[in-house]
Amino acid sequence: MTPAPGPAGLAEAKPARTPGPAAMIAVEDLVTLVRTYNPNSDADLIRRAYAYGRRMHEGQIRHSGEPYFTHPVAVAAILTEMRLDDATIVTALLHDCIEDTKSTWTEIAAEFGPEIAELVDGVTKLTNLQLSSSEAKQAENFRKLLIAMSRDLRVILVKLSDRLHNMRTIKSLRPDKQIRKARETMDIYAPLAGRMGMQWMREELEDLAFRVLNPEARNSIIRRFLTLQREAGDVVQRISTDIKLELEREGIGAEVHGRAKKPYSVWRKMQQKELSFSRLSDIYGFRVICGTEGECYRILGAIHQRWRAVPGRFKDYISQPKSNGYRSIHTTVSGRDGKRVEVQIRTREMHEVAEAGVAAHWAYRDGARVENRFAVDPARWIATLTERFEEGDHDEFLEHVKLEMYSDQVFCFTPKGEVVQLPKGATPIDFAYAIHTRIGHACVSARVDGLRVPLWTRLKNGQSVEIITAEGQRPQASWIDIAVTGRAKAAIRRSLREEDRDRFVKLGQELARVAFEHVGRKVTDKALTTAARQLGVKDRVELLARLGSAELTARRVVEVLYPELAARAGDEVDAARPVAGLPDGAAFSRAPCCQPVPGERIVGITYRGRGIVAHAIDCDVLAEFEEQPDRWVDLRWHEGRHPAAHAVRLEMTIANDAGVLGRICTLIGDQKANISDLVFKDRKPDYYRLIVEVELRDVEHLHTVMTALEAESDVAQIARHRDPARKP
């Protein structure tokens, strides 16, 4: 039995297939396609939309040279294969009108009603999203995509069909555009189609993208299939016949369809399992469609009696359906000649949902909406897809949305028998957070099927999981790499941030206490609240957190509240001996190559005739003394207020305009810093490059001066100037 063409690539009854891309379907043929599943369709509405779209796109040509309107008609035809309602078909005919023609939302609403106008507008907005752009932009566009989905999922159905037709006709684009579109299809649209339950569309999108991204690999797999068929004959026909005979013996009436798997599916399996084509076994798939759920399990028993089941390859999605409504039994058996084959068993109702996915909600049959009890409510499905998305960093959001699109599912049980759905590869940590965030935070280990297992254990279908908790346990940073679900990762990151904040607040409280005692004052909530208000910080807790994280110095807080006391306390540092660790009587100086200032880490080097010279710990000159450890001296700056007597060279590029240099000098003076030297390095008609030597108190003073200069619009560049050639 040779598979007939169809969305799933299997031999199944379908409406008449649409013509190839070179021909445009006539309006009456499109009406006929719709009426094959919806005799009560509003043919006049479709005819008016067809005429309107054709008129709007008049004169527009595709890259292939065809009239542009062939594309909207082809998209509408694809949607008829899913048996969708009139509004969706009309939206397909008009989906490019607002973007590419003089048509407007108001005009479409007046002509075809607000529902269709909203759908067309939604597709237009999705078309304008650059989903393969920079990461931050991509995250924001993913959010917009999900918002559009939540309003009306039919917008996504039209967009997916639009992408499918564009991929079918992609050869007319430039090679670089083909690659960009193919990657976007592989990364976003194919997994989205799969997540929505439209596996046939996912497989075709993947295969079309695979043809662009790796044509050599695809052609190689096709050649091997042809060779295999020549050597072994029509394997699909023989195995299909075997299954039918076995079912007839059991008195079960069912349809059996078989096929070889798509080239990309084979390639992905080869890559994942690191196997050559000759070692792949389950490259054939078969589907058995029957009447009732009971027959599904009878068929499973008959197949397992006739052929040996492959351990670990059984999934029962009838008793545990996927969130998009998918129901089926999957099993893999060793068939004829020892070849492994995958068999899917489902009822006709289940098959309709498996083919259409979430789109089954809108499907028509015989002029009425199909009342399929397995079709999932789109609003509920969107909720399950988005419930675990947290507002946060863009990389976290992308991580969650892509995981949700790609994930297959495993079903595990709590000790009470409740089912927990998790992505494939999930761990006990994911299970714990799926139950409750509190359980996740307190998790210390787990029992799987009664056995104690590490937290990094990958869970499998049907396992019973018991989470062991402990009071006082907190999430560990390593859990982020162990967890798989977006919900668990987000909760762990949030807890770690809060824990860091608590630690910083405690540290800040201690720093504030010491600083206040240094000036003879006691730290109080009122004092901290006043300081927070004067420093523009939200509240005293935030002030303490910034103190603990070194974003703010305790001395700055004291200066804001008690400037006179802070100044008196800082006068204790002697400018002649500002460092601790000097031997008695030793001369001291700062290295001219790096010019360290109080607040920076320093090390002393002894020089004959010069005493001890302090270098910044990251000074390049220190490399010369690595083999002379006896010359190194451990130094540190004295605590307290240092005088503004430490020269630092700053290299600046400023605009060559009247008054700019004067403003720069005034700005430095406003920061209580003195200019001790100024040298012009380069003069151009539009800019100056100069080195300014400024006398400063400490590293905080340096940062204050540099920040003020960076904010000046006439300062193009500013950096600290260090010169290794100016050795002591």
Task: Answer yes or no: same fold for 219-369 and 646-720.
Answer: no
Separation between Cα atoms, residue 300 and residue 8, nearest integer Å: 22
Separation between Cα atoms, residue 560 and residue 543, nearest integer Å: 13
Separation between Cα atoms, residue 342 and residue 313, nearest integer Å: 9
DSSP string covering 155-220, please?
HHHHHHHHHHHHHHTGGGS-HHHHHHHHHHIIIIIHHHHHHTT-HHHHHHHHHHHHHHH-HHHHHH
Residue 331: strand pairing partners: 343
Separation between Cα atoms, residue 717 and residue 715, nearest integer Å: 6
Separation between Cα atoms, residue 180 and residue 184, nearest integer Å: 6
pLDDT, residue 19, reads 41
pLDDT, residue 336, reads 61
Residue 405 near residue 192, CB atoms below 8 Å? yes
Q: What is the token pair recorded at 714?
A: 């006439």
The DSSP element (H or E) to which 225 belongs, if any, is helix 215-232
pLDDT, residue 595, reads 93
Sign of torsion over alpha carbons 618, 619, 620, 624: negative
Q: Nearest Cα to 474, choosing from 521, 524, 437?
A: 437
Separation between Cα atoms, residue 651 and residue 722, nearest integer Å: 9
Q: Output the CA–CA distances (angstroms, integers) from residue 215 to 157, 204, 212, 219, 726, in the order listed.
A: 28, 15, 6, 6, 61
Name the superfamily (CATH) of residues 219-369.
Answer: Beta Polymerase, domain 2 (3.30.460.10)
Separation between Cα atoms, residue 717 and residue 709, nearest integer Å: 9
The yes-or-no verdict on residue 59 having pLDDT over 80 is yes
The yes-or-no verdict on residue 30 having pLDDT over 90 is yes
Q: Output the CA–CA distances (angstroms, integers) from residue 3 to 113, 400, 567, in the order listed.
A: 42, 37, 89
Residue 607 near residue 589, CB atoms below 8 Å? no
Based on DSSP, count helices (H) and strands (E) in the chain, helices before strands: 29, 23
Separation between Cα atoms, residue 595 and residue 587, nearest integer Å: 17
Residue 486 near residue 400, CB atoms below 8 Å? yes
pLDDT, residue 45, reads 94
Residue 502 near residue 474, CB atoms below 8 Å? no
Residue 132 near residue 189, CB atoms below 8 Å? no
Separation between Cα atoms, residue 192 and residue 196, nearest integer Å: 6
Give burial (CB, 10 Å; 0-12/13-18/19+) of 146.
middle
Q: Which of 29, 66, 99, 107 is catalytic?
A: 99
Is residue 100 annotated as part of the catalytic site, yes or no? yes
- Domains of the chain, residue spans: 27-213, 219-369, 381-434+443-484, 494-569, 579-637, 646-720
Residue 573 near residue 642, CB atoms below 8 Å? yes
- Cα 639 versus chain centre, distance: 47
* Greater model confidence, 590 or 684: 590
Separation between Cα atoms, residue 523 and residue 531, nearest integer Å: 11
Q: Which residues contact 314 (CB under 8 A, 6 or more apart)?
A: 329, 330, 331, 332
Over residues 234-282, the pLDDT tens digits come to 778 888 888 999 999 889 889 998 887 788 877 877 766 555 555 555 6
Kindly state the DSSP code that residue 116 receives in the 8-state scheme. H
Give burial (CB, 10 Å; 0-12/13-18/19+) of 559.
buried
Query: What per-residue string of b and e applies to 152-185 under the rule 16 or more CB within 10 Å gives b?
Result: bbbbbbbbbbbbbbbbebbeebeeeebeebbebb
Residue 453: strand pairing partners: 446
CATH code given to domain 381-434+443-484: 3.10.20.30
* Greater model confidence, 204 or 394: 204
Separation between Cα atoms, residue 82 and residue 63, nearest integer Å: 27
pLDDT, residue 108, reads 92
Q: What is the token pair recorded at 105?
A: 């939302």
Longest dimension (CA), the chain: 108
Separation between Cα atoms, residue 688 and residue 391, nearest integer Å: 46
pLDDT, residue 129, reads 58
- List the single range of 158-162, 410-414, 495-499, 571-575 with lowest mean pLDDT: 571-575
Q: Which of 42, 66, 100, 187 is catalytic?
A: 100
Over residues 118-159, the pLDDT tens digits come to 888 888 877 765 554 444 444 555 555 665 555 677 888 899
The yes-or-no verdict on residue 345 having pLDDT over 80 is yes
User: What average pLDDT does the segment 92-109 reach?
Assistant: 90
Query: What per-residue string of b and e applies to 523-547 under the rule 16 or more CB within 10 Å gives b?
Result: beeebbeebbeeeebeebbbbbbbb
Dihedral of the alpha carbons of 598, 600, 606, 608, in degrees to the nearest 10: -60
Topology annotation, domain 27-213: Hypothetical protein af1432 (1.10.3210)
Separation between Cα atoms, residue 512 and residue 182, nearest integer Å: 58
Is residue 86 annotated as part of the catalytic site, yes or no? no
Separation between Cα atoms, residue 692 and residue 678, nearest integer Å: 4
The mean pLDDT of the chain is 80
- List the single range of 337-351, 365-379, 566-580, 597-611 with lowest mean pLDDT: 365-379
The yes-or-no verdict on residue 601 having pLDDT over 80 is yes
pLDDT, residue 275, reads 56
* Greater model confidence, 646 or 17: 646
* Side-chain half-sphere CA neighbours of 650 within 13 A: 29
pLDDT, residue 279, reads 52
Q: What percentage of residues in the chain have a pLDDT greater than 70?
A: 81
In this structure, whether the domain defined by 646-720 belongs to CATH 3.30.70.260 is answered with yes
pLDDT, residue 641, reads 75
The yes-or-no verdict on residue 395 having pLDDT over 60 is no
